[in-house]
Structure 1
Amino acid sequence: MIYRNLFLLLLFAIVVSGCGNREDTPMNGAPAGTNVTRPSSVTEVIGIGRVEPPDDVVPLAAPVGGIVASVVRRDGDSVHAGDVLITLNDATEKLAVAQITQRIATQTTQVKLDEANVTETEARLANKRRYAATTAELEKTGSATRQNLDDAETEIRTLEATLSRYRAAVGVSKERLKELHAERISALHDQDLRTFRAPTDGVVLDMALQVGTSVTQYQTYAQFAPRGEHLVRCEVDELFADRVTVGQYVEIRLIGNQDVVAKGVISSVSPYLRKKSLFSEKSNDQEDRRVREAVIRVNTAATLLINAKVECFIKL
């Protein structure tokens, strides 16, 4: 009986000792107090990056609404500033321009007519003044009556009033002509708004419209990347974040390819660590690692597709 109790006591002690040792050993077999260390002789750091345009991608907004008449540029087309991208139906605007143009022609004729009246009246007035002067001389010698002189002076005053009226008419006609020209400029502007143009040199990324579809004012109709040397925005793991600095040389390779497709220099680095964000599949991804963002200015000619995922080999 005594031997049996001693055996059970010994067995219990062994079990307790085994459980205590298990608590001190992690699931992966490594000692519990082990810390992750980094090698001190690292000569390059690899970050995952994304190719971006020199400026942010611009969502192009429609200045006016209407029905799409033609789509001139498609996805991937390179354009220059002012190149036509989209045209809307502009029949109403064309009619307005034509009507104003006709009114300008009519008003131009009216201005010429009023100016002709002024010219004619000025000639008649000058002639009547000469007649009055001659009559005044004759009246002194008795060769003409006072009545003749009074009649001439009355006609002069009448012609002067008529001339003032015609000159005023010319002024009004010219002002109206100016207004019509301003209306035509406004109508042409309205017509031109129905032609959507590239704001700068760049590349059309995503054309959302097709012929016959409608677009509302301020609706985004395309994504646009301004032209310029591409940049690469990459993320470096927090383990090597403090080794990344501005001015470091970088080789850029496509994922899974050993060929260097571009070269560049780090132009800026973020002052803090952040969650991985460039290639997160979900907004609520649980990340226990932090990264430091670096912006690389590509300084060699290369065909890099915007939003392409690349590996950035940063030379330390």
Structure 2
Amino acid sequence: MTLPSLDRPPAAIAPKSDAPWFLPSRRRVNRFVRQHRISLSVCAGLVLIGCLPYTLRPGGKVELLPLAQQNIQVKVSGRVSRVMVDGGSRDVIQSGRVIATLDVPDLENQLQTTRKQIATQNAGIQVAQRQIKVSEEEVSVTLAELDTARVRARFSRKAYERYRDLYREGAVSMQQVEDYQKQAETDASNLLELQATVQQKQQQRQQSEEKIKVAQGEFQRLNEELKFATDELNRARVTMPFDGVIVDHRLKDKVGTYLEKGSTFATAEEANTDVLRARVQVSEVVADRLKAGRPVEVKLMAFPDDPIRGTVVAVEPSIHLLETEQNRSQDTGNMITVAQLNAGRLLGVIIKLPNQNGKLRPGMSGYAKIQGDTVPVAVAFSRALARFFNIEVWSWLP
């Protein structure tokens, strides 16, 4: 057994630490830091990165919507007799321009018949008006003759009465009395005839006026029919509803085709393509962060290296399924819409994109990202985890 040398100094005794018993000593802390400095540096970097600001950009598939279109429908039934434009080009057609006409022989015949009836009725009214004018003149003349006859009858009556009195006195002969009596009776008879004539002519005048009223009512009715037939004939002309282009090709091949009222003759499309609209399908989980007016960046499949920047116009009010398919029911044979197992729910966002150079076309597809709120990186990338605990775990709790 070897004894320690008495010349060696005793080992230094570590000074007693003032730190509480539950805290590690400084020596241990330093040793832990030296041993795990790389891990601690990584953790510190992650914390720092998690505090950095990050702008959320929810996105989804995008599809350019068709331009505003309208079906041009025929307003009357008829056969296409003439087509002025062939369609299928980008030539702008002004609003109201006639692009086709229909042959409607029934309306044309009705129009001609109504015009003839109006001419006949108008001629009858003019004849009745002339008859009234003649009747008024005849009544005026007869009234003057009636006044004269009244005076003459009154004078003859007085003369007869005077000679009758003189005959009683013996001053005149019976022959003279009889002559004055006959004259008085003749004048009275003429007066009655004139009175009857005046009454008859006045009745004829009233009847003519009533006929004119009836004829004028019929004349007005025929004019309304003429206006209706004219309007219907004008409806046989197919016009452009607004300034735009015709989508359909080879419209002139429709000459001779019979179209029922309400049938679609062609489809008109808006000519202004400087601004196009598109629909972005984003997940429902970001619905609270979508607002009108926010910037959008779009990359289309046709132009992957040329991002397009637009603006949110509106957010659709309802949410729809992500993926559905049409299947035929084995029981009823009808087509039904079935959601796939991996279907999600999407919210449609309408955006507008500039198209001054005209390279964009309706129907193009791609991907779009909408600028959202700015949050810390840790919050941005932990939204799914937070949603899991806030909804899924919460739903498990009794």
Same fold by TM-score greater than 0.5: yes
- Could you give the per-residue CA deviations for residues 162-220 of structure 1, whole angstroms, max 9, x where no partner exists? 11121122122212211221221222133223222344455433368522223233333
**What percent of counterpart residues are identical?**
19
Q: In structure 1, what is the equivalent of residue 112 of structure 2?
A: 98
Aligned residue identity for 2:266:
A
Alignment match of 1:131 (pick from 141, 145, 165): 145
- 1:233 maps to amino acid: R
CA change 1:302–1:132 in 2 (3 A) is farther
- 2:124 maps to 1:68: no
Instruction: Confirm or deny: 8 A CA contact 2:284 2:319 kept in the other structure.
Output: no
2:310 alignment partner, one of 244, 263, 267:
263
Within 5 A, what are the aligned runs for 1:174-185? Answer: 174-185=216-227
CA contact (8 A) 2:64 2:363 kept: yes
Question: 2:109 is matched by which residue type in structure 1?
Answer: L
Normalising by structure 1, what TM-score?
A: 0.70
The answer for the alignment partner of 1:111 in structure 2 is: 125
Partner of 1:248: 294
Return the alpha-carbon distance in structure 2 between the equivalents of residues 261 and 122 of structure 1: 87
Whether the 8 Å contact between 1:51 and 1:307 is mirrored in structure 2 is yes
Aligned to 1:275: 322
1:141 counterpart SS class = helix
Please give the alpha-carbon distance, in whole angstroms, between the structure 1 residues aligned to 2:259 and 2:99: 14
Which of 34, 52, 64 pairs up with 1:51? Answer: 64
Q: CA 1:120/1:299 → structure 2, altered by over 3 Å: closer, same or farther? A: farther
Amino acid at match of 2:342: D
Shift of residue 221, structure 1, vs aligned partner? 2.9
**Following TM superposition, by how much is the alpha carbon of 1:254 offset from its aligned partner in structure 2, in angstroms?**
4.4
Secondary structure of the structure 1 residue equivalent to 2:192: helix
The 3 A distance-change label for structure 1 pair 309 and 214 is farther
Give 1:117 shift.
0.3
Contact 1:59 1:221 in 2 (8 A): yes
Residue of structure 1 aligned with 2:197, choices 140, 151, 155: 155
Report which stretch shifted further, 88-97 or 305-314. Answer: 305-314
Structure 2 contact 282–347 (Cα < 8 Å) conserved: yes
Q: Secondary structure of the residue that 1:103 maps to in structure 2?
A: helix
* Count of aligned pairs: 271
Residue 146 to residue 260, structure 1, CA distance change in 2 (3 Å): farther
Looking at structure 2, the residues matched to 121 and 69 of structure 1 have their Cα atoms a distance apart, in angstroms, of 54
By how many angstroms is 1:288 displaced? 3.0
Distance 1:270 1:301, change over 3 A: farther
Q: 2:258 aligns with which of 204, 208, 214?
A: 214
Match for residue 351 of structure 2? 296
Instruction: Find 1:173's aligned residue among 203, 212, 215.
Output: 215
One-letter identity of the residue aligned with 2:319: Y
Deviation at 1:129, TM superposition (A): 1.0
- Aligned partner letter, 2:261: Q
My pick for the range that moved more, 238-247 or 175-184, is 238-247
**179 and 207 in structure 1: CA distance in 2 versus 1, 3 angstrom threshold:** farther
Look up the equivalent residue of 1:166 and give its one-letter code: S
> Mind listing any 5+ residue stretches in structure 2 that lack a counterpart?
1-52, 160-183, 325-336, 373-398
CA distance in 1, matches of 2:247, 2:268: 5
Larger radius of gyration: 2
Q: Secondary structure at the match of 2:319?
A: coil
TM-score normalised to the size of structure 2? Answer: 0.57
User: Residue 227 of structure 2 aligns to which amino acid in structure 1?
Assistant: I
124 and 153 in structure 1: CA distance in 2 versus 1, 3 angstrom threshold:
same
CA distance in 2, matches of 1:116, 1:91: 38
Letter paired with 2:302: G
Aligned-CA RMSD value: 3.5
Contact kept? 2:245, 2:269, Cα under 8 Å: yes
1:164 aligned partner:
206
